[in-house]
């Protein structure tokens, strides 16, 4: 597939670069790095995100030509010969508003992603679930195609952003020796890892810290006799603390950091439904559990889900299903 990817990239002239709804650091890092890679190839590129990223991610899109799909797309689709699907394994991940745009794109679609079980909707699919992040996979693709010299600081910044955020600052089991080899290369070419870390993790507002403190102090629930922790937040509670997109980012990992907890569940009420985050470690996997029960999926130790039921009904359903979260023998 790498040869097919290289051939197509060499022949392409103008491309769309897309990622999933509610883009996280890996999504933004991947599209940014792929965008500047194409610019370094002397080609035209335009990034499309389904909805507005969190405020702390917006600075990484500086100098990137991009559109927010839900706000309208003014590009002439017929001028584009390729649509790249980065960091998502199914068209539904871009949201209902954008899904038909992806599926009906008239030219070549190419997926580059690290989530398991990719759906068959692209002509070329580069899928490596064993890689810690799509951003690292971007690096590997560029390297394997023979374009490593085109990874400059701008490309590298996006790669580092995605790797940093999708590995929990390089502490998840998905981190390998290859990950650190990539990091070493990025530092050699001038990526400022300190600045990127500060831009992601040192941008707290007072209301964000108050929300997180409230969630931990008042909404944390531990399951007696089980290595499970849970936090839930209602829409009213979010409004009480002037919630902004991204304010609860990483809160599920706080639950998982508690001694004796191996499974963390985080339920957040939004106007369109309940967004769910699962994290785990050790002998507990959460991706198949989420896929079976909460319209979700993801990685073995990190998965998302969604429910159209009320928050209380969704949590009660989770309680009734915890027996499914059994150790792998």
Residue range 285-296, pLDDT digits in tens: 999 999 999 999
d(CA 155, CA 152): 5
The CATH code belonging to domain 207-324 is 3.10.310.30
207-324 matches 2-201 in CATH topology: no
HSE-up (13 A, CA, CB side) for residue 98: 24
Mean pLDDT along residues 164-174 = 93
Q: Over the stretch 208-238, which tens digit does the pLDDT of each residue have? A: 999 999 999 999 999 999 999 999 999 999 9
CB 157 within 8 A of CB 193: no
pLDDT band with cut points at 50, 70 and 90 for residue 326: confident
Instruction: Give the other-Cβ count within 10 Å of 81's Cβ.
Output: 17
For 257, residues 6+ apart whose C-beta sits below 8 A from its C-beta are none
* Model pLDDT, residue 325: 87
pLDDT band with cut points at 50, 70 and 90 for residue 104: very high
Average pLDDT value over all residues in the chain: 96
Query: What is the widest separation between alpha-carbon atoms in the chain?
Result: 59
pLDDT band with cut points at 50, 70 and 90 for residue 297: confident
pLDDT band with cut points at 50, 70 and 90 for residue 328: low
Mean pLDDT along residues 21-39 = 97
CA distances from 257 to 41, 68, 154, 252 (A): 43, 35, 33, 9
* Model pLDDT, residue 92: 94
User: Over 90: is that where the pLDDT of 329 sits?
Assistant: no
pLDDT band with cut points at 50, 70 and 90 for residue 327: low
According to CATH, the superfamily of the domain at 2-201 is inorganic pyrophosphatase (n-terminal core) (3.90.1640.10)
In this prediction the pTM is: 0.91
User: Over 80: is that where the pLDDT of 77 sits?
Assistant: yes
Query: What are the boundaries of each domain within the chain?
Result: 2-201, 207-324
User: Over 80: is that where the pLDDT of 198 sits?
Assistant: yes
């Amino acid at each position: 597939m790498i040869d097919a990817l290289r051939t197509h990239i060499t022949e392409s002239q103008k491309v769309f670069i897309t990622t999933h709804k509610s883009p996280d650091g890996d999504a933004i890092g991947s599209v940014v790095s792929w965008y500047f890679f194409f610019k370094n190839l002397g080609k035209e590129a335009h990034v499309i995100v389904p909805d507005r990223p969190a405020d702390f991610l917006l600075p990484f899109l500086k100098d990137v030509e991009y559109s927010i799909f839900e706000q309208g797309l003014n590009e002439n689709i017929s001028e584009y010969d390729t649509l790249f699907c980065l960091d998502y394994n199914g068209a539904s991940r871009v949201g209902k508003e954008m899904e038909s745009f992806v599926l009906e794109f008239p030219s070549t679609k190419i997926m580059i992603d690290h989530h398991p079980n990719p759906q068959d909707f692209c002509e070329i699919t580069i899928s490596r679930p064993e890689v810690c992040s799509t951003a690292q996979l971007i690096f590997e693709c560029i390297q394997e195609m023979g374009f490593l010299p085109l990874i400059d600081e701008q490309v590298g910044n996006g790669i580092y952003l995605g790797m940093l955020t999708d590995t929990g600052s390089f502490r998840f089991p998905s981190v390998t020796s290859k990950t650190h080899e990539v990091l070493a290369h990025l530092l050699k070419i001038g990526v400022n890892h300190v600045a990127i870390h500060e831009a992601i993790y040192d941008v707290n507002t007072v209301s964000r810290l108050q929300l997180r403190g409230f969630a931990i102090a008042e909404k944390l629930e531990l399951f007696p006799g089980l290595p499970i922790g849970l936090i839930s937040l209602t829409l009213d509670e979010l409004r009480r603390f002037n919630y902004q997109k991204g304010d609860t980012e990483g809160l599920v990992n706080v639950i998982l950091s508690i001694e004796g907890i191996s499974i963390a569940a985080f339920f957040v009420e939004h106007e369109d439904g309940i967004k769910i985050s699962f994290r785990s470690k050790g002998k507990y996997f959460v991706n198949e559990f989420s896929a079976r029960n909460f319209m979700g999926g993801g990685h073995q130790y990190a998965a998302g889900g969604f429910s159209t039921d009320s928050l209380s009904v969704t949590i009660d359903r989770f309680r009734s299903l915890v027996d499914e979260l059994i150790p792998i023998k």
